[in-house]
Amino acid sequence: MTIGRDSSSQTSCLFNEDALINRLLPPELLATIMILSIGQDWHEKRPFMEPLAFSRVCRYWRSVCLNTPQIWSSISYGGLYPDGVRNDKLDGYTPLMWRSGAVELAALREQLRRSGTLPLDIVIGRYHDDDNAPAGVGRKLHEDDNFIYLWRTVFRELPRWRTVSLVLDDHLRCAAPKPFDCALKAPILEEATIICSHGYGDRIDFRWLARAQALRRLHLLQTPSPSRIQLPWEGLTHLTLDLRSVEETTLYDCFEVLPRCVALEHLRIAVGTGGYPGLESPVVLPSLRSLVLDRASSLCQCICAPKLEYLACYMRPFWRPFALTQSLIELARRGPGLQGLQELVLVFQQDPASVRVQSAAALGAFFVTLQISPGSPVDLPSELEEHTLDELLELLPALECLDLTTDDLGRVDLANLRVASSLRDLAIEGDLSEKSLADLRALFADGGLRNLTNLTLRQTNISKGFSTGYEGLVAALGQRGVTVETLNVGRGDCNGQRPVDDSLWSDEVQAPSCIPM
């Protein structure tokens, strides 16, 4: 093969340093690529704990990297979790390996300089003795004067705080330049996460956020009673009250602040004790669109939310799922009830039943997912099988999509799904047996589910008896215009999973469209 003069010159041009792709990208585009490509892990480490790979490609990339303030606007110190509570997302993450106070202070000042005047995302978590730390590192930190200067530098940037995550303990109390009962001036603070070290919240009154008028998202974990925290509740749109480890906190404590949250759209409450708050009348939350209750299911009787679109209740294995499900059915029957509800999630953890009802906001149609996935030796309550699903379906006349997942389809009478006459899409997952085939034939007999257009069968195990008559069923449905799809899924791929992940409100996972985060 020979290369002509013109081809040779073109080849040389391609390898010319000035023509390399990393030099041709405009700095604005390259900066955007860098911002989108940096992993969250890098932001979770302290300033300059590890080099940024982008800065080592070439001088041009390094220049763009150093002059892009968005890359340097996250300041993080320590792992954000309280004593005795380990976050799975932090496994393998080493928050410590503390350098000398002078080095830490110099690194912080340099990162603040590179961040320019942009708003800051601040994490002030646990930084003292930990499984990953040398013994006594907490004491050594407080013996270093630069350690105090470091925290003063962080708090000097209060006017730039956009989000902040704090672990409150004696170490932070000693290091912070302001006491907890002092109102800080944080004019652009939009989101705050407050975690108390175990048992520490009982001893403090927290007023740091009392003047944060721009605060919209608040997450309180293991904190003192919400009534002891002063902040502009009336401006909140997102509120998480995770109080499972605070024994003194009751449901009534939560309700002391809820009437002040007039703009609240998304509320999540988790408490360590069940029970009823003993209110004389329900609390009206006129703007509430989503509600998540963990061990606080009785609150569904105490909240009036006319615009509610999403409701999730997480139960514990020693509670009977039928009682909660029945109360929701009664709620749906009363007045407007749940007529505006687009998604309903009932989760019975480690119990053999979960029911999820949801809808697509764009279509205004209801979707139902029933999961019956035994996670314990407890048998599925017969009343849940025989009544609950049927009653829910009867109360949802606009139901268009149904997804059924079960470890044992033999325990579910598929023919009962005929009550959902508006169904257009049906998906079934489980062990497909000869009985399942008979149930499907009964379901579609005499024009049953006449509006159905799509049937999806996700099989974990298929019996010979089902295979024998399957083709005939597909042919019969095809004549009705129903598209049938069969998928092979491994056992455990979907079974036993919680319908809604706990990270629903996390920025790392995109929430459903009806809950804009």
Q: Is the pLDDT of residue 224 over 80?
A: no
Q: Which H or E element spans position 57?
A: none
Distance of CA 443 to the CA centre of its chain: 37
Q: Which residues contact 408 (CB under 8 A, 6 or more apart)?
A: 372, 374, 430, 431
| Residue-averaged pLDDT of the chain | 68
pLDDT at 218 over 70: yes
Mean pLDDT of 124-130: 56
DSSP at 493: S
pLDDT of residue 496: 33
What is the chain's alpha carbon radius of gyration, rounded to the nearest angstrom? 28
CA distance linking residue 369 with residue 338, whole number of Å: 17
C-beta of residue 424 within 8 angstroms of C-beta of residue 448: no
Amino acid at 444: F
Q: What is the DSSP string of 87-115?
A: -GGGTT--------HHHHHHHHHHHHHHT
3-state secondary structure of 160: helix
Give the closest residue to 296 by CA, choosing from 259, 221, 241, 334: 241
pLDDT digits (tens, 9 = 90+) for 409-420: 666 677 778 877
Q: Which residue has the higher pLDDT, 127 or 33?
A: 33
Q: 350 vs 515, which has greater pLDDT?
A: 350
Q: For residue 475, count CB atoms less than 10 angstroms from its CB and return exposed for 0-12, middle for 13-18, buried for 19 or more.
A: exposed
Of residues 146 and 456, more confidence is placed in: 456
Angstrom CA distances, 9 to 13, 17, 21, 499, stand at 6, 14, 18, 61
Mean pLDDT of 4-24: 53
Q: Are 201 and 222 in contact (CB under 8 A)?
A: yes
Q: Which two tokens stand for residue 406?
A: 């079960």
Question: Rounded distance, CA 96 to CA 132, Å?
Answer: 7
pLDDT top residue among 491 and 30: 30
User: How would residue 367 be classed by pLDDT, with cut points 50, 70 and 90?
Assistant: very low
Q: Who wins on pLDDT, 405 or 352?
A: 405
| H-run or E-run covering 405 | strand 399-406
Q: Helix 464-479 to helix 434-444 angle, to the nearest 10 degrees?
A: 20
Q: 422: Cβ–Cβ under 8 A, 6 or more apart, which residues?
A: 397, 398, 399, 400, 451
Report the distance separating Cα 405 and Cα 429, nearest Å: 5
Q: Contact at 8 Å (CB) between 239 and 267?
A: yes
φ/ψ (deg, to 5) at 153: -65, -40
Of the pLDDT bands very low, low, confident and very high (cuts 50, 70, 90), residue 404 is low
Summarize the confidence of residues 442-465 as an average pLDDT: 80
Considering the entire predicted model, what is its pTM?
0.65
**Could you say which DSSP state residue 385 is in?**
I
Beta-carbon contacts of 206 under 8 Å, excluding residues fewer than 6 positions away, are 168, 180, 181, 194, 223, 224, 228, 229, 230
Q: Give the per-residue pLDDT at 258.
A: 87
Is the per-residue pLDDT at 458 higher than 60? yes
Average pLDDT over residues 459-479: 75
**What average pLDDT score do residues 446-472 get?**
77
Structural element, H or E, at residue 217: strand 217-221
- Ramachandran bin of 500, using left for φ above 0, alpha for ψ from -120 to 50, beta for the remaining angles: beta
Q: Report pLDDT digits (tens) over 302-313.
A: 777 888 877 777
Q: What single letter denotes the amino acid at residue 129?
A: D
Here the tokens at position 140 are: 């050594």
Q: At what angle do helices 145-156 and 101-114 cross, to 10 degrees?
A: 20
Q: What percent helix, strand, coil does the chain show, rounded to 5?
A: 35, 20, 45
Percent of the chain with pLDDT over 90: 8
Q: pLDDT for 43-70, tens place per residue?
A: 767 677 677 777 778 888 888 888 888 8
